[in-house]
Amino acid sequence: MMTARNGHVLRGVLLHNEPMARHTTWRVGGPAERYYQPADIADLAEFLAQLPADEPLLWVGLGSNLLVRDGGVRGTVIATAGLLNDIEQSDATMVRVEAGVSCAKVARFCSRLGLSGAEFLAGIPGTMGGALAMNAGAFGGETWPLVVQVETLNRHGRLRVREPGEYRIGYRTVHGHADEWFVAATLRLQSGDTAAAGARIRELLDRRAASQPTQQPNAGSVFRNPPGDHAARLIESCGLKGNCIGAACVSEKHANFIVNTGAASATDIEALIARVAATVERERGVRLTPEVHIVGESGSG
């Protein structure tokens, strides 16, 4: 049992030196100095309030779109997936979703209610918190056009409700308030048809399985698409499909995916990301921007 500085009992679980390879979809990454699994938003607020003001924080959902280096993470990792997990219909066409709910679950929940507009979320292998943080998208849809309001916590544990107009939203980018993290969002959908929404989700998942290496550890798209082009096309045009460093390989199925074929290290993956970017810039004159967030300390692979 842990007690916060204000005397409140913390109900979550705090782990020390927790291997991040257990919590990332690439299945790589060194240990987190501290790893907190909150009981709910109120518990997380209490936990944040008792941390030192300069404590490094990393929020992690399903661990997709994330490369944790082999040396691990200093400070505290806040785990949300399956923990901040409430989802409920709040109005006829609105749904409130906490940050740890998987995007796929949001898509299915909305379709069962006969609400349309969230089907594309089935193709995003992360949580709502991550989708909000990067304006995640798939199959032509993006997260923020659905957002009515968000709930955030700052590092002092203060909860706030904010409107979309308080953020600058772009392609795979969201700029807003420093040291503040999304813990929930209210989404507005359209009245639709349950059967049609379910069929659309199945169609999108079939397309994803056919075009992406879903059976191998990966982190989703590695690079953002440059304006007017596709990163995968550029990478493939350079003959990089199947190119490997150690057990990290550019997918034969989709060139904008890097897969862990067995015992890849984060160092292998990061080196391959750099090689792909350098090759495309040299041969095609396009500088690719990583979509994947690379964090942590360098270490032996």
92-118 pLDDT per residue, tens:
999 999 999 999 999 999 999 999 999
Of 24 and 205, the one with more pLDDT: 24
Mean pLDDT computed over 77-83: 94
pLDDT value for 32: 98
Rounded Cα distance, 126 and 122, in Å: 9
Position 196 pLDDT exceeds 90: no
Position 198 pLDDT exceeds 90: no
In the chain, what are the domain boundaries? 2-79, 87-211, 231-295
Which DSSP state fits 35? Answer: E
pLDDT band at 7 (very low <50, low <70, confident <90, very high): low
pLDDT value for 2: 63
Specify whether the CB–CB gap between 115 and 133 falls below 8 A.
Answer: no
pLDDT value for 301: 41
Q: pLDDT tens across 153-170, in order?
A: 999 999 999 999 999 999
Sequence-ordered strand ranges (E) for 20-108: 31-37, 57-60, 66-68, 73-79, 87-91, 94-98
Mean pLDDT computed over 250-262: 97
Please give the positions annotated as active site: 172, 221, 291
Could you tell me the CA-to-CA distances from 61 to 50, 94, 245, 281 in Å, in that order? 22, 23, 27, 32
Residues belonging to the chain: 301
Residue 162 structure tokens:
């904010």
Architecture of domain 2-79: 2-Layer Sandwich (3.30)
Residue 86 structure tokens:
């409430």
CATH fold group of domain 87-211: 3.30.465
Architecture of domain 231-295: Alpha-Beta Complex (3.90)
Tokens 């990454």 found at? 29
pTM of the model: 0.90
Contacts of 91 (CB under 8 A, 6+ apart): none
Position 238 pLDDT exceeds 80: yes
